[in-house]
Homo-oligomer: A and B are copies of this chain.
Amino acid sequence: MAIKTATRQRQSIADGVRDQKREHILEVAENLFFRQGYAGTTISGIVEHLGVTKPYLYYYFGSKSDIYETLCWQASNACLTAMHFEADDARPAIEKLREGLHRFASANVTHFKSGTFYYRDSSPLQPALLKRLRLLSRRFYDELSETLEQARQDGDLDFENTRLTARAIGSVAGFMYTWYDPDGSIAPEEMADQLSHILLKIAGEKSNRKGSRKHS
């Protein structure tokens, strides 16, 4: 039992180091993929920025597309599960919408680089992953549309076309990468707050005068 524990600890430490190395590679690759696109980014360029060699990289990842797919899946999964709620969640739709859209906004701010890979360039993704991503995306818009319609029936929202409204909400978050500067004056949390506020507005939120702190 003591031996087993010691062995497990050694493995955990080794795995932890391995995970750290992987994380570092992913971090550098993410920046390059975001700035130069998939095909515009070379393995040589990635390892150059890391200060390591190519075999080092290939020890941690099977291929260039493996890195891209890992980043893409992590980010897309975080963003597109934001509108998911337990079946026994009995809160009013408008409350779930507020929480869900804030989670969605936060996830898009946090993963605002890799979160763009799926729609900016999906050609490196293998068919199986693409299928999972399409399912994930469809579910997100289905859950968002359903919550929107429930809240409208409750009289808390005002909009016409549900699918278009859902797409418009997804668009504002998805397009943020073209204008948001994470190193700029607006902190991530503040950005997520402002973003979720405008997403609720697209949904036609009524009587939003509870925390209406005016900005000049």
Interface residues of A (CB under 8 A from B): 35-40, 119-121, 123-124, 159-161, 164-165, 167-168, 170-172, 174-176, 178-179, 194, 197-198, 201-202, 204, 214-215
Contact = CB atoms under 8 A, between A and B. Distances in A.
A40 B39 CA distance: 6
A197 B159 CA distance: 11
A161 B193 CA distance: 12
B123 A121 contact: no
B179 A167 contact: yes
A157 B214 CA distance: 16
Output the residue of A124, A174, A175, A215 with the most chain B CB within 10 A. A175
Determine how many copies of this chain the complex contains. Answer: 2
B37 A121 contact: yes
Chain A residues touching B, majority SS: helix
Contact of A123 (B37, B168, B170): B37
Contacts of A198: 161, 164-165, 168, 202
B123 A40 contact: yes
